[in-house]
């Protein structure tokens, strides 16, 4: 490596001396010197490692969170560009094994990344990876709330409340801008050590900090009729630490290992409280409305997880292999409970049954697999998997204060928590048989049994059969077909099971046909009986070594029993094609297109409560039917052309490389609603998004080690969403029951230009 800038040469020389010393001082386990080096022939030159520094600037002409959602490029102006890679590898035929590399990407942007690694190859390795991942959601939000030092979101001192947003005269004047965004900072530190004889030790530590804001709904009220909600900007302040260590042994015929993973999640903001912007509403207790009324919602509690695992694989014979994994773990959560209500004006005489949840879920996962080739043409794989989530969280009776709007309920109106557990067992056999050198049949059968607590279906069995065929008529062409049928069948569906289990015994009459929560004809789709048919077709064609085509079609249908409410039918159709062309050794062209369609059918019945519950719930004229039709089209095209002048035999362009990227995506969602004679419906507007982006990239080699790089990108995005567009904070609901946030669906047009100079070191 050389560096030609005079100012940098002294520093470069010093570093060149220093870094190899660092490598040499890196501790080293027992070296194996079994191989002699002197028999290896001389090679003229080792390829350059492409250490470089890249400095420049970018210019953005748009203000858009949507454009910069993950890039951090959210505002107009100039953004510094700084990338580098600096590395050392010893001469390939030397006796040294120490190496290091450090690399930074997009250091001038909010999605920067730094990787560093140092080690002795074949011996040990220490690496560090740092990533910043922004997530910019809304830059057009407005809210009347202000955060004070106590953590309570407060309204302006002159706030004038009403029972609906239409009766808040100072609302518009009180609104101020509020962005919703957060950023993740993630640090991964890994160490790996190879010992002699096949032993290896790995340890990884990750710390992830997530900081920013998010939207939460703050509701006050005790029924659907008197609910009043405000969308709030709540803090995000998470820290997650994960340690994963393992020791394993590997040899020609077997591998085995032990490992442990520990995770600790810490939320430094476990609740958000707000001043109620609504005045007294009928059905609320005195003191629940403005100015004294307060609401508080919990945010995610801290939690811990620890898991020990053992794994291994053994070659029973040259054609038969057995592998297994056993993992036992525990999730736990014991954050101190918040009080039943944050509002001191409300009476809550019943104490909490415990100071914290004492939540605990024991996990056990066992996975045993056998793969074999009993005949030269036959491959068989069989597996058994046991996955148990045993929720040992104590069950207690809690007497809530409903929505910080009424005094505490009587004990008999309290609710019992439902610590859901499940056990899943899966047995699977997969076979492949080669009929001829280029033709293969495959078949697989999977049986899954899942048992659950406190849910509508206690036991669910699913049988899945897959048959397939693949054919390669030519070395340059292949075709694959697969058909899969799954039949899911559960024990009797008891729609009231969780409802009864969550209430105090005797307060709900299981014999009363009207004492139900969900309509008796509802079948929750993840528990309902279902037949799934799926077909997949894949074709590849390589008419020449420089040209390739691929086609994939995937069709699937989920058929639930249409006599019930809930999801009854789902169809997914996906058609994709791609092509790659390499007309010259230094030119690549690729293209792809996909079309996806997702259709669902979902009937339901509108029914009221009280005296109307019986007649309504039995009245088919109150039925409604929703059909959704989601369609997506995506296409992309890119070209890379290295050393343009060489290809065209034009000397002036010899040092030029160019590239083109183009991406296009269009989505459309249609929701059709139909209903019986007793209720009214009207068509919904269509939802849509449209994205088009393209980029032109050019690199021009100014000198042997110096390249001028130019990038121009243009992106346009439009979307239409009836839930957001034109919905001002006071206009979310005709009755003014929700104080909204005012965000619209994103729409932007952005141009992004960067100029940088890359210097190879």
Partner 1 sequence: MRAFRRWHEALRRAVVAGVVLAAAWSAGEEPGAYARGGVQACLDCHDAASDHPADQVLSTVHGLAADPRSPLAGGGPGCESCHGPSAAHVTRSDDGSRPPPDRVFHRGIAAHQRSEVCLACHQDSGRVHWHTSSHQFEDVACSDCHRIHQHRDPVLDIETQAQVCFGCHLRQRAEFNRPSRHPVQGARLASRVSLMACTDCHDPHGGSGPSELVRGTLNETCYDCHAEMRGPFLWEHAPVREDCSVCHAPHGSQHEKLLVSRSPWLCQQCHLAQFHPSTQASGLDVPPRGRSDLVLARGCVNCHTNVHGSNHPSGVRLTR
- Show the tokens assigned to 695: 């980029």
Choose among 714, 712, 673: nearest CA to 692: 714
Q: How far is CA 627 from the centre of its chain?
A: 27
Per CB under 8 A, the list member of 193, 740, 759, 760 interacting with partner 1 is 740
Interaction mask 274-303, partner 1, x per CB under 8 A: ----------------------xxx-xx-x
Q: Please tell me whether residue 250 binds partner 1 under the rule CB under 8 A.
A: yes
Determine phi and psi for 9, rounding to 5 degrees.
-65, -45
Nearer to partner 1, 199 or 700 (CB): 199
Per CB under 8 A, the list member of 80, 122, 374, 411 interacting with partner 1 is 122
Q: Please tell me whether residue 41 binds partner 1 under the rule CB under 8 A.
A: yes
Q: Please tell me whether residue 747 binds partner 1 under the rule CB under 8 A.
A: no
3-state SS, 4-65, equals CCHHHHHHHHHHHHHHHHHHHHCCCCCCCCCCCCCCCCCCCCCCCCCCEEEEEEEEECCCCC
Q: Please tell me whether residue 592 binds partner 1 under the rule CB under 8 A.
A: yes
Sign of CA dihedral 222, 228, 230, 231: positive
Nearer to partner 1, 7 or 723 (CB): 723
Nearer to partner 1, 116 or 215 (CB): 215
CB 212 to partner 1: min, Å: 13
What is d(CA 279, CA 405) in angstroms, rounded to the nearest whole number? 12
Q: Please tell me whether residue 667 binds partner 1 under the rule CB under 8 A.
A: yes
Per CB under 8 A, the list member of 661, 710, 747, 757 interacting with partner 1 is 661
- Between the CA of residue 314 and those of 202, 230, 256, what are the distances in Å? 21, 59, 8
Nearer to partner 1, 238 or 284 (CB): 238
Nearer to partner 1, 101 or 170 (CB): 101
Determine phi and psi for 411, rounding to 5 degrees.
-55, -40
Kindly report the number of other CB atoms within 10 A of residue 737's CB atom. 20
Kindly report the number of other CB atoms within 10 A of residue 715's CB atom. 19
Name residue, tokens 């439009």. Answer: 718
Part in contact with partner 1 (CB under 8 A); list of ranges 332-340, 484-492, 505-513, 702-710: 332-340
**DSSP state, residue 197:** G
Per CB under 8 A, the list member of 335, 559, 569, 599 interacting with partner 1 is 335
Nearer to partner 1, 54 or 616 (CB): 616
- Between the CA of residue 343 and those of 40, 144, 278, 279, what are the distances in Å? 81, 21, 15, 15
Q: Please tell me whether residue 30 binds partner 1 under the rule CB under 8 A.
A: no
Nearer to partner 1, 108 or 279 (CB): 108
Nearer to partner 1, 290 or 616 (CB): 616
Q: How far is CA 617 from the centre of its chain?
A: 38
Part in contact with partner 1 (CB under 8 A); list of ranges 4-12, 89-97, 151-159, 169-177: 89-97
Per CB under 8 A, the list member of 54, 404, 655, 699 interacting with partner 1 is 404
* Cα pseudo-dihedral 18, 19, 24, 29, rounded to 10: 150
Choose among 695, 685, 669, 671: nearest CA to 753: 695
> Which residues, other chains included, contact 44 with Cβ-Cβ below 8 Å and sequence gap of 6+?
none
Q: Please tell me whether residue 381 binds partner 1 under the rule CB under 8 A.
A: yes
Q: Please tell me whether residue 556 binds partner 1 under the rule CB under 8 A.
A: no
Part in contact with partner 1 (CB under 8 A); list of ranges 4-12, 20-28, 151-159, 448-456: 448-456
What is d(CA 245, CA 201) in angstroms, rounded to the nearest whole number? 8
How many residues appear in the chain? Answer: 761
CB 605 to partner 1: min, Å: 6
Per CB under 8 A, the list member of 40, 59, 286, 435 interacting with partner 1 is 40
Part in contact with partner 1 (CB under 8 A); list of ranges 13-21, 275-283, 337-345, 648-656: 337-345
Q: Please tell me whether residue 532 binds partner 1 under the rule CB under 8 A.
A: no
Nearer to partner 1, 8 or 499 (CB): 499
Part in contact with partner 1 (CB under 8 A); list of ranges 21-29, 281-289, 698-706, 719-727: 719-727
What is d(CA 640, CA 638) in angstroms, rounded to the nearest whole number? 7
Element of type H or E holding 100: strand 98-105
CB 139 to partner 1: min, Å: 15
Per CB under 8 A, the list member of 310, 338, 648, 710 interacting with partner 1 is 338
CB 160 to partner 1: min, Å: 22
Residues numbered 407 to 436 that lie near partner 1 (CB under 8 A) are 415, 417-420, 422, 430, 432
Choose among 135, 144, 216: nearest CA to 178: 144
Residues numbered 174 to 193 that lie near partner 1 (CB under 8 A) are 184
Determine phi and psi for 622, rounding to 5 degrees.
-100, 10
- Between the CA of residue 279 and those of 284, 405, 583, what are the distances in Å? 10, 12, 72
Nearer to partner 1, 46 or 491 (CB): 46
Per rule CB under 8 A, count of chain residues that contact partner 1 = 216
Q: Please tell me whether residue 539 binds partner 1 under the rule CB under 8 A.
A: no
Contact status, residue 681 vs residue 645, Cβ threshold 8 Å: no
Q: Please tell me whether residue 542 binds partner 1 under the rule CB under 8 A.
A: yes
Q: Please tell me whether residue 561 binds partner 1 under the rule CB under 8 A.
A: no
Name residue, tokens 């005489």. Answer: 349
Q: Please tell me whether residue 530 binds partner 1 under the rule CB under 8 A.
A: no
Residues numbered 216 to 235 that lie near partner 1 (CB under 8 A) are 216-219, 224-225, 227, 229, 231
Residues numbered 683 to 712 that lie near partner 1 (CB under 8 A) are 683-685, 687, 689, 691, 693, 695, 697, 711
Q: Please tell me whether residue 73 binds partner 1 under the rule CB under 8 A.
A: yes
Nearer to partner 1, 605 or 760 (CB): 605
291 preceded by a cis bond (ω within 30 of 0) = yes
Residues numbered 490 to 529 that lie near partner 1 (CB under 8 A) are 498, 502, 517-519, 522, 524-526
What is d(CA 138, CA 716) in angstroms, rounded to the nearest whole number? 17
Nearer to partner 1, 147 or 432 (CB): 432
Choose among 152, 137, 148: nearest CA to 214: 137
Interaction mask 603-642, partner 1, x per CB under 8 A: -xxxxxx---x--xx------x-x-x-x-x-x-x-x----
Q: Please tell me whether residue 486 binds partner 1 under the rule CB under 8 A.
A: no
What is d(CA 160, CA 703) in angstroms, rounded to the nearest whole number? 69
Determine phi and psi for 568, rounding to 5 degrees.
-115, -20
Choose among 377, 372, 534, 375: nearest CA to 440: 377
């Amino acid at each position: 490596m050389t560096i030609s800038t005079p100012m940098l040469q002294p520093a470069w020389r010093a570093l060149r001396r220093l870094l190899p010393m660092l490598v040499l001082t890196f501790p080293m386990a027992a070296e194996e010197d079994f191989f002699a080096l002197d028999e290896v022939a001389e090679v003229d030159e080792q390829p350059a490692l492409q250490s470089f520094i890249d400095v420049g600037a970018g210019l953005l002409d748009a203000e858009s969170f949507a454009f910069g959602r993950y890039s951090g490029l959210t505002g107009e102006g100039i953004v510094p560009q700084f990338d580098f890679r600096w590395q050392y590898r010893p001469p390939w035929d030397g006796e040294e094994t120490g190496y290091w590399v450090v690399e930074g990407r997009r250091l001038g942007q909010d999605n920067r990344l730094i990787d560093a690694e140092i080690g002795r190859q074949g011996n040990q390795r220490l690496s560090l990876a740092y990533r910043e991942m922004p997530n910019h959601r809304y830059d057009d939000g407005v809210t009347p709330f202000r955060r004070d030092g106590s953590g309570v979101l407060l309204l302006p001192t002159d706030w004038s409340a009403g029972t609906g947003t239409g009766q808040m005269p100072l609302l518009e004047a009180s609104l101020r801008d509020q962005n919703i965004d957060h950023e993740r900072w993630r640090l991964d530190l890994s160490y790996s050590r190879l010992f002699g004889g096949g032993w290896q030790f790995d340890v990884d530590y990750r710390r992830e900090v997530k900081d920013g804001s998010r939207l939460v709904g703050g509701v006050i009220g005790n029924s659907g009729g008197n609910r009043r909600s405000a969308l709030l900007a709540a803090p995000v302040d998470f820290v997650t630490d994960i340690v994963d260590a393992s020791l394993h042994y590997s040899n020609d015929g077997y591998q085995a290992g032990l490992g442990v993973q520990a995770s600790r999640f810490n939320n430094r903001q476990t609740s958000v409280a707000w001043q109620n912007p609504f005045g007294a509403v009928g059905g609320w207790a005195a003191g629940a409305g403005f100015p004294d009324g307060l609401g508080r919602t919990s945010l995610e509690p801290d939690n811990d997880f620890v898991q020990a695992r053992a794994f291994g694989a053994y070659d029973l014979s040259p054609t038969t292999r057995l592998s297994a994994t056993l993992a036992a773990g525990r999730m736990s959560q014991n954050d101190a409970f918040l009080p039943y209500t944050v509002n001191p004006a409300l009476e809550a005489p019943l104490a909490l049954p415990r100071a914290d949840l004492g939540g605990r879920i024991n996990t056990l996962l066992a996975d045993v697999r056998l793969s074999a080739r009993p005949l030269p043409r036959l491959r068989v794989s069989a597996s058994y998997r046991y996955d148990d989530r045993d929720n040992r969280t104590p069950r207690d009776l809690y007497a809530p204060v409903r929505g910080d709007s009424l005094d505490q309920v009587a004990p008999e109106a309290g609710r019992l928590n439902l610590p859901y557990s499940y056990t899943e067992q899966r047995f699977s056999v997969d076979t492949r048989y080669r009929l001829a050198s280029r033709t293969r049949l495959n078949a697989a059968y999977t049986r899954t049994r899942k048992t659950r607590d406190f849910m509508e279906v206690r036991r669910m069995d699913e049988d899945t059969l897959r048959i397939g065929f693949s054919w390669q008529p030519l070395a340059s062409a292949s075709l694959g077909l697969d058909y899969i049928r799954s039949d899911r069948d559960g024990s009797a569906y008891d729609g009231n099971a969780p409802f009864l289990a969550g209430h105090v015994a005797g307060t709900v009459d299981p014999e009363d046909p009207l004492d139900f929560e969900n309509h008796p004809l509802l079948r929750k789709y993840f528990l309902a009986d279902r037949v799934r048919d799926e077909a997949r077709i894949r074709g590849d064609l390589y008419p020449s070594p420089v040209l390739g085509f691929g086609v994939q079609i995937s069709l699937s249908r989920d058929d639930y029993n249409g006599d019930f409410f809930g999801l009854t039918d789902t169809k997914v159709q996906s058609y994709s094609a791609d092509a790659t062309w390499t007309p010259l050794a230094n030119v690549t062209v690729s293209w792809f297109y996909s079309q996806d369609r997702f259709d669902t059918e979902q009937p339901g019945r509108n029914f009221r409560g009280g005296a109307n519950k019986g007649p309504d719930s039995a009245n088919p004229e109150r039925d409604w039917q929703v059909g959704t039709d989601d369609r997506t089209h995506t296409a992309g095209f890119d070209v890379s052309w290295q050393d343009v002048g060489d290809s065209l035999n034009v000397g002036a362009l010899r040092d030029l490389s160019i590239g083109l990227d183009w991406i296009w995506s269009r989505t459309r969602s249609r929701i059709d609603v139909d209903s019986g004679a007793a209720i009214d419906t009207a068509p919904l507007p269509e939802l849509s998004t449209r994205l088009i982006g393209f980029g032109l990239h050019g690199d021009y080699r100014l000198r042997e080690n110096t390249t001028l790089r130019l990038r121009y990108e243009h992106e346009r995005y439009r979307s239409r969403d009836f839930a957001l567009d034109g919905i001002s904070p006071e206009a979310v609901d005709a009755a003014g029951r929700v104080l909204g946030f005012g965000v619209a669906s994103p729409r932007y047009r952005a141009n992004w230009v960067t100029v940088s100079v890359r210097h190879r070191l």
